[in-house]
Structure 1
Amino acid sequence: MNKIKQLSFVMMMGVAVVSMQGCSPEVGTKAWCEELKEKPKGDWTANEAKDFAKHCIF
């Protein structure tokens, strides 16, 4: 029974993570550019910086 509870917990956490990912705007959209402008530049990933330059500046 304990293993069933553990498996259920892991599955619920997976669903929660997937659900939260759906809340982010698509890369390159105006909403994404605005969201990234609000985020401290020190917290940007290399991919975010590259995508920001590609989609929001040029």
Structure 2
Amino acid sequence: MKTIKLFGLLSVVYLISACAPEIGSDAWCAGMDKKAKGDWSANEATDYAKHCVFK
């Protein structure tokens, strides 16, 4: 029974993570524009500059 619950949980996590836009895509850049700049990680800020500002 625990195996079935674990498999179900992993399946849900996989499906949710597959929906995230690719870094550098127009959807990802638009999402970052809506996110508060103070909440960005250093990696997100670097990726935003590289893929959205300096295309």
TM-score range, shorter chain: 0.7 to 0.9
The sequence identity of aligned pairs, in percent, is: 43
Is 2:44 the counterpart of 1:48?
yes
Larger Rg: 1
How many pairs does the alignment contain? 54
Higher relative contact order (CA 8 A, sep 6+): 2
Output the TM-score relative to the length of structure 1: 0.81
User: What does the per-residue CA deviation read over 1:1-33, in whole Å, with 9 as the maximum and x for residues that have no partner?
Assistant: xxxx11111111111111011111110011110
- TM-score (ref. length: structure 2): 0.85
**Range moving further from structure 2, 42-51 or 14-23:** 42-51
Q: Which runs of 5+ in 2 are unaligned?
A: none
Distance (whole Å) between structure 2 residues aligned to residue 18 and residue 43 of structure 1: 24
Large movers: runs of 4+ above 6 Å? none
Q: What is the alpha-carbon root mean square deviation over aligned residues?
A: 1.0
Q: Counterpart in 2 of 1:17?
A: 13
